Structure 1
Amino acid sequence: MAYKDEQLHEEKVFKDPVHRYVHVRDRVIWDLIATPEFQRLRRIKQLGTTYLTFHGAEHSRFNHSLGVYEIVRRIIFNFKDRKHWNEQDRLLCLCAALLHDLGHGPFSHSFEKVFKLDHEHYTQQIIVGDTKVNHVLEKVYPGFANEVADVIAKTHSNKLVVSLISSQIDADRMDYLQRDSYFTGVSYGHFDMERILRVMRPTEDQVVIKSTGMHAVEDYIMSRYQMYWQVYFHPVTRSSEVILTKIFHRVKHLYDKGYIFKLEPTHFISFFKNEENLQDYLKLDEAIVYYYFQMWQEETDEVLQDLCERFINRRLFKYVEFDPNKMMNVWLELIQLFKNIRIDPDYYLVVDSSSDLPYDFYRPGEEGERLPIHLLMPNQELRELSRESDVVEAISGKKRTDHKLYFPLDMLKENKDKETVEKIMAILQIQGDV
Structure 2
Amino acid sequence: MQILSSSEQGAFDDPPVFDFRERKRCFDLPKPLLDIATELRSPASQIGFLVMCAYFKVAKKFYNSRDFHSPDIEAAAKLLGLTGSEFSPATYPKQTRARYRKLILDFYGFMPFGRKARKDLIAEIATMARTYLKPRLIFDRCVDYLIQRRVQVPKSGVLLELIRSGLQARKVELIALMDVHLTDDARALLDELFTTPDDQNRYRLTLLKKLSQSARPTKIKEAIADFGTLADLHNQLSDPLSALDLGAAGIRYFAGSVQRSRLFQLKQRADNDRRIHATAFVAHQFYRTQDNLIDLWLSVMASFHAKATRDHNDRLLENRAAQQKQIKSVINDLDTSVFGLLRDIRGVTEADGMSDTQKVSTIQALLDKSRSGAFEQLKDDLSATARDECWFDVLEAGSLRLKKLTQSHPSRDHV
With normalisation by structure 1, the TM-score equals 0.22
Which structure features the higher share of strand residues? 1
Which structure features the higher share of helix residues? 2
